[in-house]
Amino acid sequence: MDEGVAFYCSECGSALLVPDPEGTLTCAHCGVTCEITGRTCLRCGAVNPLEAEHCTQCGQVMDLVGFILQSRLQTTARERLEKMRAAAARLKEDAEIASQERLRRWWAEEEERRRTLAAAQAERDRQERMLLRWAMIFAAGVILAILIYLLVTALLAS
């Protein structure tokens, strides 16, 4: 079989087909035997006769080697190099965009974490101030009680 040919099981759609010496394919998934009746175009997906050298739908060369050869014959080395450079630039740009998006997401998560920590710290500070107020009120009450006790004992002693 040609590498560029795509065959699928007519019953389950599996691509796991095992060739038999009789020119048929047996589906490894469901066991159905399929006859090879056409070749699928890699470009447009059209089914073509087995003997077709070019797709009847789009004109694409039907085997992988022919496809590569056709693309080599239709373009110069400089054009292929420019295409590769453009593809590399697009890949780099896509990677940069993805990196920037990750950085924005991480920064937003960090900002949220900092806001949460600041809110927790503010709550702890508020609780500490409240505790300090109550401690001062209690201390003032104890001092007032001691003064009243001393005053009462001094009045009773005189």
**Residues linked to residue 71 through DSSP beta bridges, in sequence order:** none
Please list the pLDDT of the chain residue by residue as tens digits (158 residues): 333 345 667 778 777 777 665 656 788 778 888 766 666 676 776 777 767 778 888 888 776 655 566 566 666 778 878 888 998 999 999 999 999 999 999 999 999 999 999 999 999 999 999 999 999 999 999 999 999 999 999 999 87
Strand 33-35 relative to strand 24-27, pairing: antiparallel
Q: Which residues, at least 6 apart from 8, have a Cβ–Cβ distance to it below 8 Å?
A: 14, 15, 17, 40
Domain ranges of the chain: 17-74
Q: Cβ–Cβ contacts within 10 Å for residue 15, how many? A: 11
